[in-house]
Amino acid sequence: MPRKNISKQLTARAVIFKKLNLRALDQTQWRDRAHRSATADQVLQFRERVNALVPDDSAARRAFEVFHLSPDNPYHWRGLLDIFAELHFGKPRRAGARPKWTVARKSELAGHFVEEIKIMQKADIALPQSLEEVAVIIKKRHPKSYSDTTSRQMYVQLRSFFSRDENADTQFMTWISKRM
């Protein structure tokens, strides 16, 4: 469901729940384990839609099918609730497109790449075995420059510095060995 329609959908569901008088159920003694267990057994089952007051289960049924979950397992219900809550109320996505890799930004990354290799050689530190490791190191050493970029995105850019004909990590190792 598109995010812009969620508010309308939730409002419509709230109206239905008010008609069901679910507020009266709030007064029930939920701390009584036997009562809570019996009620949960009733509530956590799919129902036939008799009228407009009974919520439509088709979306929940599809979710269980898609994720290969069992509606009889209460842990699966909990997992599905956790997925929903994370997607709709979890950490919001950043607005806008990912930052573009401009020529200036690629040049900065190339400079950091060469700088990190030189630092490791001077300090006699074991050189990384892959470009992916280099990307992680650069991201850690220059967090402000790459705060909006993942190390995976940096790795893809580093790989583009080498020929596409061969494995980029093999070329990287060859390049490193020539400089030692």
Q: How far is CA 48 from CA 11, 20, 110, 137, in A?
A: 23, 16, 62, 57
Give the global pTM. Answer: 0.42
The tens place of each residue's pLDDT in the chain, 180 residues long, gives 445 566 666 666 666 656 655 555 566 677 788 877 877 777 777 666 555 555 667 778 888 888 888 888 888 888 888 888 888 787 776 677 766 788 888 888 888 988 888 888 888 888 788 888 889 999 999 988 888 888 888 888 888 877 665 666 666 667 666 665
**Count of other CB atoms within 10 angstroms of residue 145:** 14
Max CA distance (Å), the chain: 77
What is the distance between the alpha carbons of residues 112 and 62, in angstroms, rounded to a whole number? 48
